[in-house]
Chain A
């Protein structure tokens, strides 16, 4: 894992000192809110519906046990004893007091963390495949490059006032777990003639105008990465629309100018920038890579398998992913206990996760964009012990990738931008499917819920997407179907009129019942069935009254 250099440590600490003085000046009246707001946003501090909210970056979703313990300490000391993990691999604290925030930032700096550029029109936290460095299907660990991008983009003088926020995601695997096609820039590691490089995707995004990103370079040599990314952001900085917030993201720039023109401008800019990169970036990358060297793998004989309970077998079936080493496994810890708030972990749970990482997991933890926690390297012989510890902490829910493993944004329970609540809908759907005892039979199903059109809950790429809206002063939920956030990325289709809050759970249940009737075999997933049959039979299940009227 990356360790802060003296420069990093001093930079982050200086920023905390600056912000501490800014908070003092705001509280004593020397700064107006108009003056203070951009300063607090630069440091990840929002003002939400009921309180301030501090968004802390977890760069490319990677943290160690000391960092996780510090997150737990912060939750207990300055918040309400829990944290909320987000779809951008951040953690949010929902209840900080303004005066405490500088102390919280100092506590983060103590463990090499910060909240810089988790807001504002800047390059945000670079996200990555949560299985990076562990996945069996991986070409290479993308995190050294993600760290290079973090260092390059942090406080980059040219890119502090972009037309709008800018999000980069990176994966080292052909199976895209980082939603790269729905980011401003998506990077997929590829090889050409044995040379490592990237497929560069630009102009993806969700929100009110969802777009699948377009390939701007099929193969970018590894050493050209920074100048090429700088060229893209620089062209966007120049062309991106500042006249209309809703048309300011690069997806609109690409859409309006066309990928050919953007590509040409980027190549022109790249030709200017490339010679300015002397190779220092590659030296830095080599130093970063050394810090991401794989751990010294434990080797031990597999113990006698204990008498396995049904619960353990079920957990192994759903929550374990193949590791690049046959004697290890990737453990996904679900933060989606049926009826709980997706992505929330108590301080006690964070400490259990930190302990498990330390004892069984080479001191590594990951946060996934699906709001779960990962122990990326666990020896298979340790799986029963890990399961037992997770179970005791209420963290052994066996539902990864299933109907109740729901992404939900905070929605109107917290967010000032939301138009409806998301969390209660997620809680009710999960509780309902748990009662039906059907989710293992249903198999892979991604339900994603956003509480407004900005789509933080990724509803456009959910197999079943739910969008909460305000219809004449009442919460109303629209369903989209057939979305997909992987390498076969697709924007879901709107199914029809929305549903009231008390109708949405039965509507989702009708969809799933229809799928079980329609699937060609037990192995055909919801998404495959949808792709084979299209919207019509699902629409008929959603709106039975419309069918009977037409008859």
Chain B
């Protein structure tokens, strides 16, 4: 039996701003994980990451992060990815600043 695939989102940092972005199904980079494409298939995930890697003039360091389907859209699984959706815990800076 093969292990069940954990759904993924493609994420990176914006080249000019440095902040966290996610890849949408229609090939945009969004600041909100809820708008990201939740990828449920391993092969498709690799293809989407290849697409992200071709966007080197827009984003830096794209990778696949585990995610789950939340009430508003994709949501992070690991605490590191959760921090990336918000910002640091010592000041209301980063994404939580404008949320």
Residue A207 CB within 8 A of the other chain: no
Q: Are A413 and B16 in contact (CB under 8 A)?
A: no
Q: Are B87 and A50 in contact (CB under 8 A)?
A: yes
Q: Are B16 and A50 in contact (CB under 8 A)?
A: no
Residue A427 CB within 8 A of the other chain: yes
- A 23-36 binary contact with B (CB < 8 Å = 1; else 0): 00011010011000
Known: A50-B94, A473-B79. A33 touches B89 (CB 8 A): no
Q: How far is the CB of B72 from chain A (nearest CB, A)?
A: 21
> Could you say which of B18, B56, B84 contacts A47, with CB atoms under 8 Å apart?
B18
Report the interface size for chain A: residues with CB under 8 A from the other chain.
30
Q: How far is the CB of B13 from chain A (nearest CB, A)?
A: 6
Q: Are A33 and B84 in contact (CB under 8 A)?
A: no
What A residues does B51 contact at CB under 8 A? none
Residue B19 CB within 8 A of the other chain: yes
Q: Are B83 and A413 in contact (CB under 8 A)?
A: yes
Which single residue of chain A is at the shortest CB-CB distance from B93?
A80
Q: Are B13 and A95 in contact (CB under 8 A)?
A: no
Q: How far is the CB of A496 from chain B (nearest CB, A)?
A: 23
Residue A272 CB within 8 A of the other chain: no
What B residues does A29 contact at CB under 8 A? 56-57
Q: Are A97 and B16 in contact (CB under 8 A)?
A: yes
- B 35-74 binary contact with A (CB < 8 Å = 1; else 0): 0000000000000000000001100110000000000000
Interface members, chain B 18-43 (any A CB < 8 Å): 18-20
- Main secondary structure, interface of B, reads loop
Known: A33-B56, A413-B90, A421-B89. A99 touches B16 (CB 8 A): yes
- B 84-99 binary contact with A (CB < 8 Å = 1; else 0): 1001111101110000
What A residues does B91 contact at CB under 8 A? 80, 341
Residue A475 CB within 8 A of the other chain: yes
> Could you say which of A98, A341, A474 contacts B15, with CB atoms under 8 Å apart?
A98
Which single residue of chain A is at the shortest CB-CB distance from B88?
A413
Q: Are A51 and B19 in contact (CB under 8 A)?
A: yes
Best-buried of B20, B60, B84 by chain A (most CB within 10 Å): B60
Per CB-CB distance, the 6 closest pairs between chain A and chain B, nearest first, are A413-B88, A52-B18, A29-B57, A51-B18, A50-B94, A341-B90
A49-B80, A413-B89 are known contacts; what are 18 more A-B pairs with Cβ within 8 Å? Answer: A26-B15, A27-B16, A47-B13, A48-B18, A50-B18, A50-B84, A50-B93, A51-B13, A52-B18, A94-B88, A95-B18, A98-B15, A99-B16, A412-B79, A413-B83, A423-B89, A473-B78, A475-B79
By a beta-carbon cutoff of 8 Å, the part of chain A in contact with chain B is 26-27, 29, 32-33, 47-52, 80, 94-99, 341, 412-414, 421, 423-424, 427, 470, 473-475
By a beta-carbon cutoff of 8 Å, the part of chain B in contact with chain A is 13, 15-20, 56-57, 60-61, 77-80, 83-84, 87-91, 93-95
Could you write out 9 A-B pairs with CB less than 8 Å apart?
A47-B60, A49-B20, A94-B93, A95-B93, A97-B18, A98-B16, A412-B79, A413-B90, A424-B90
